[in-house]
Amino acid sequence: MDTIKPPAESLYEKELQALRLHDTAPKPPNWLLSPKAVRDFILGRDTPLDLNGESVKITRKFYGDDVLIERAIVSLAGNRGLMLVGDPGTAKTMLSELLSAAISGTSTNTIQGTAGTTEDMIKYSWNYAMLLDKGPSYEALVPSPLYTGMKKGIITRFEEITRCPAEVQDVLISIVSDKVMNIPELEDGVLFAKPGFNIIATANIRDKGVNEMSSALKRRFNFETIFPINNVKMEAEIIESQAKTMLRQSGVPIETDRDVVELLATTFLELRTGKTQEGYKIETPQAVMSTAEAVSVYVQSAMTSHFYDDKPISLERLVQNMLGAVVKDNHKDLNVLKTYFSKVVKERAKGEGLWEDYYNTKKWIK
């Protein structure tokens, strides 16, 4: 498919087909895959699967807590919704897309929560021309993604739910617990959810508002907290594979540089956790040093180097872009980065070429 960002079900179409073909484990009603196969889709399989003579590798897509993934999948087969919470860039959105694509075959049945989300956007609205012409009828009703999810028995994703006003969030309470939506405008208007329907909501811990979720609504969800990756090699692997995909999608035909990726991953991990590899404590910036942010710093730097310097990537470009990522929220963060260079990077520059080059870019941090 020729789109900037194809949905998970298109991107991994072959993997999903192969998993469906070989899936013999028990499935919850209306699920396209068994919980076991959904887990394999997200965490990968050691052995490839045969799809009409073609060998299809099921790749690992999420790195981190494997047991969390199993719990999340089982939650969706049960009576409660699934709430993924965590810092920005911890793959909450990615996970909810992968889960929906695997379970329901679509990841695009989605409500995006904003401060302006209204009850209509969550339930249904009306085609006013038809409403005036014919009066209230199912024909004139414009379904929301939640309505569609209930009607078809598929998953509805609800992104950034805590950005919505609390009273709007609370519309979900009766729907999640009773699996029915009343439509008072229609005679006998009621929609019963088909099996297979459930909700995956995501919420950023850093957004103000998370605490404003009512306890009644909280009780209708199983919460899973996703933590940032805490391993340089793993993080480097994600940055590299994501950067490759993004560069390819931008039509920039350059290879990624593993050493530079690891250097970037090390800096991000150390600044995020406030601890160096040698075990020293350092100050952390206010800015979110997420894996997603690291990917975008790499891609931005590689593209700048490619277009202006005719090189795959230079450390100067990397540092220039890192500066943008770190200092955007808070100017004090600039000092945190300066100190990181004058202490941590300087020390490592004594031992190794790449870190020395890295240290020599410090003039850009001002």
Ligand X SMILES: Nc1ncnc2c1ncn2[C@@H]1O[C@H](COP(=O)(O)OP(=O)(O)O)[C@@H](O)[C@H]1O
For residue 300, state whether it binds ligand X (rule: CB under 6 A): no
What distance, in Å, lies between the first and last C-alpha atoms of the chain? 44
The whole-angstrom separation of Cα 236 and Cα 259 is 9
Q: State the nearest-atom distance from the C-beta of 152 to ligand X, in Å.
A: 24
Contacts (CB under 6 A) with ligand X, residues 242-261: 242
The option from ligand X, Mg ion, none interacting with 199 (CB < 5 to 8 A, set by class) reads none
Q: State the nearest-atom distance from the C-beta of 7 to Mg ion, in Å.
A: 15
List residues bridging with 190 in a β-sheet. Answer: 182
The whole-angstrom separation of Cα 341 and Cα 335 is 10
Q: State the nearest-atom distance from the C-beta of 361 to ligand X, in Å.
A: 25
For residue 291, state whether it binds ligand X (rule: CB under 6 A): yes
Complex with ligand X: residue 237 or 316, whichever CB lies closer: 237
The whole-angstrom separation of Cα 37 and Cα 102 is 8
- The size of the interface with ligand X (CB under 6 A), counted in residues, is 18
* Tally of residues, the chain: 366
Q: Find the part of the chain contacting ligand X (CB under 6 A) among 20-28, 59-67, 116-124, 182-190.
A: 59-67
CB-based contacts of 257-263 (< 8 A; 24+ apart in sequence): 257/312, 257/313, 259/354, 260/298, 260/313, 260/315, 260/318, 260/354, 261/236, 261/298, 262/232, 262/233, 262/236, 263/315, 263/318, 263/354, 263/355, 263/358
Contacts (CB under 5 A) with Mg ion, residues 88-127: 93
The option from Mg ion, ligand X, none interacting with 91 (CB < 5 to 8 A, set by class) reads ligand X
Q: State the nearest-atom distance from the C-beta of 304 to ligand X, in Å.
A: 21
Complex with Mg ion: residue 81 or 196, whichever CB lies closer: 81
Q: State the nearest-atom distance from the C-beta of 241 to ligand X, in Å.
A: 8
List residues bridging with 111 in a β-sheet. Answer: 158
Q: State the nearest-atom distance from the C-beta of 44 to ligand X, in Å.
A: 11
Residue 42: both structure tokens together: 């997200």
Candidates 91, 140, 146, 191; binder of ligand X (CB under 6 A) is 91
Complex with ligand X: residue 140 or 161, whichever CB lies closer: 161
